[in-house]
Structure 1
Amino acid sequence: MKTPPGLESQAPNMVCKLEKSLYGLKQASRQWNAKLSQTLIAFGYEQSKADYSLFTKKTPSGFTVILVYVDDLVLAGSDISEIQQIKALLHNKFSIKDLGELKYFLGFEIARSQSGINMCQRKYALDLLQDSGQLASKPCNTPMDPSVTISKESGTQLADPSSYRRLIGWLLYLTNTRPDICYAVTRLSQYMDTPTTVHQQAAYRILRYIKTAPGLGLFFPKESDLNLKGFTDSDWGACHDTHRSTSGFCFFLGSSLVSWKSKKQTVVSRYPQKQSIELLLKALVKHNGYCIFFMIFASIILKLWLYIVTINQQFTLLIILLFMSVQSI
């Protein structure tokens, strides 16, 4: 590395040999992640293959989970002694600061009660309303107006699209706890290149909808089963610009919503049953490693329902591909 200011060197072209990664260098974050991962693995934790920032450990008395975000760690589990032990080990290794029970993290507010855990982004939503000038606006009951047709050519192009792009970015982060606005925000994010006044008014309507209940979020009940259920749905060529379909799926662990997505398909489907199978295929790929999906929508022509229950994703995808080939979709 180059010699830092204040260090006198006899040769003008002299450089320093980096023996240890320093805070602020471009490789520092990678080195820190490698060091922390090695430490947690040495303590008996297993790094998740689906999410490398997730570490788990199973003990005879319970189960412990560690979620890592740079140098912030969230600990959860049923084994209190293991949680206290890992805190002590990390403190001896890195000198950590224990912030106590999780209440606020990266804009997420966590509230506990006797019935379960509620997670929302109320403060983030209120700050968003204030920064966008919609705090005093009139609330509405739906995130989108069904009577308004949204397309690429609708409305007059904005002179400065940066404010629209910034607003959509804020709303996209809010969808982490608000699946009810996921479709509307995803729809408007397609026009970030050349947004118009119609798109901007539609984005403001989402804010007015958020104002009705800024503290709305996800609830995880204390008493719930662990059955994994998935649901998919899509329109058929509803996009006025490309005639492509918009797909969506959601997964429930018991009665708790744990994953969801809404996205425009990349191809034009000639038949609605084909896009249903394509959507299911993407949902299976999205949840690699989980025991998911128990039902496939079959062809309307054959009046057939095909049910698959499996924990092997490759086998499931093979069955779907064979089914698609037989139907010549």
Structure 2
Amino acid sequence: MKQPEGFNDDSHKVCRLKKSIYGLKQASRQWYLKFHKVITSFGFSENLVDHCIYLKVSGSNFIFLVLYVDDILLASSDLASYVIGIEIHKDRKQKTLRLFQKAYIDKILQRFGMKDCWPSPAPIIKGDKFNNDQSPKDELELEQMKNIPYASAVGSLMYAQVCTRPDICLVIGLLGRY
């Protein structure tokens, strides 16, 4: 390693990473070790043959967690109505399966100071464009914007878009450009 640009003080000191960085060879191993530590703390036991399968038994109920890279498949003997922040409503008579993220969306609205906002039937209307008129106009508005972590807000909305809200895909794509 070399010292970062602008830091060179001729001491030949370098940076030492204390955590793995996404994309490095050891990143996936470090993620797996962290996942293993957390999931076993919840009472799951690792399969001896395939280390990416975890099992938890409670009475006559069981839960399997199958880990594949950074995706998790969950299988259980119990009927689940709420998994990973997603509410599941199954209607056998109408043969429908509906997924909702109301609790998650309420949580992100609260986190980013928008709990009192009004819902809209469409997140964007034909002809809507982002422009400088929507930018902060004075120091007060600029200071208010500094308190909102923009990338985190867009990322939170992307999660909702991928799971249950494909209708906001266009808007999230536009927001991601800024």
Q: Residue 29 of structure 1 is aligned with which of 33, 44, 52?
A: 33
| Match 2:158 to one of 161, 172, 175 | 172
What secondary structure does 2:149 align onto?
helix
Distance 1:170 1:66 in 2: 24
Q: Deviations over 1:56-93 (max 9, x none)?
A: xxxxxxxxx964388x76117xxxxxxx7xxxxxxxxx
1:104 aligns with 2:64: no
Residues 27 and 121 (structure 1), Cα distance of their counterparts in 2 relative to 1, 3 Å cut: closer
TM-aligned CA distance change 1:36 to 1:180, over 3 Å: same
After superposition, the C-alpha distances for 1:73-132 in whole angstroms (9 at most, x for unaligned) are 6117xxxxxxx7xxxxxxxxxxxxxxx322222211112221232222111112223333
One-letter code aligned to 1:75: A
Residue matched to 2:173? 186
3-state SS of 2:98 partner: strand
Output the amino acid matched with 1:110. Answer: I
> Which amino acid counterpart does residue 75 of structure 2 have in structure 1?
L
- Give the aligned partner of residue 269 of structure 1: none
- 1:113 to 2:108 alignment: no
Task: Give, in whole Å, the separation in 2 of the partners of 1:31 and 1:125.
Answer: 25
How many percent of aligned residue pairs carry the same amino acid?
Answer: 21
**Aligned pair 1:39/2:25, yes or no?**
no
Does the 8 A contact of 2:112 with 2:148 survive in 1? Answer: no
Summarize the alignment of residues 218-229 of structure 1 with structure 2, pairs less than 5 Å apart: none
Segments of structure 1 that go 5 or more residues without pairing to the other structure are 1-24, 42-52, 55-64, 77-83, 85-99, 192-329
CA–CA distance in structure 1, aligned partners of residues 110 and 124 of structure 2: 20
Is residue 2:135 matched to residue 1:156? Answer: yes
Change (3 A) 1:128 1:31: closer
Q: What amino acid maps onto 2:81 in structure 1?
A: K
SS of residue paired to 1:174: helix
Structure 1 residues 32 and 164: CA distance shift in structure 2, 3 A: closer
Specify whether residues 161 and 182 from structure 1 end up closer, same or farther in structure 2 by C-alpha distance, changes over 3 A only: farther
TM-score when normalising by structure 2: 0.50
The 3 A distance-change label for structure 1 pair 162 and 128 is closer
Larger Rg: 1
TM-score by length of 1: 0.30
The change in CA–CA distance for 1:36 and 1:132 in structure 2 (over 3 A counts) is same
- 1:74 aligns with 74
Other structure's SS at 2:153 match = helix
Counterpart amino acid of residue 109 in structure 2: L
Shift of 1:140: 2.0
2:111 alignment partner, one of 118, 122, 131: 131
SS in 2 for 1:117: strand
**Is the Cα–Cα contact under 8 Å of residues 158 and 172 in structure 2 kept in the other structure?**
yes
Alignment deviations for residues 193-221 of structure 1 (CA, whole Å, 9 cap, x no partner):
xxxxxxxxxxxxxxxxxxxxxxxxxxxxx
Distance 2:150 2:35 in 1: 37
Runs of 5+ consecutive residues of structure 2 not aligned to the other structure: 1-28, 38-44, 54-63, 137-141
* Offset of residue 189 of structure 1: 1.1
- Choose between structure 1 and 2 for higher RCO, CA contacts under 8 A separated by at least 6 residues: 1
Q: Structure 1 161/150 Cα, relative in aligned 2: closer, same or farther at 3 Å?
A: farther
Which amino acid letter does the alignment assign opposite residue 83 of structure 2? F
User: What letter corresponds to residue 155 of structure 2 in structure 1?
Assistant: G
CA distance in 1, matches of 2:31, 2:159: 27
CA separation in 2, counterparts of 1:161 and 1:190?
20
- Code of the aligned partner of 1:165: A
Q: Quick one: distance in 2 between partners of 1:134 and 1:128?
A: 8
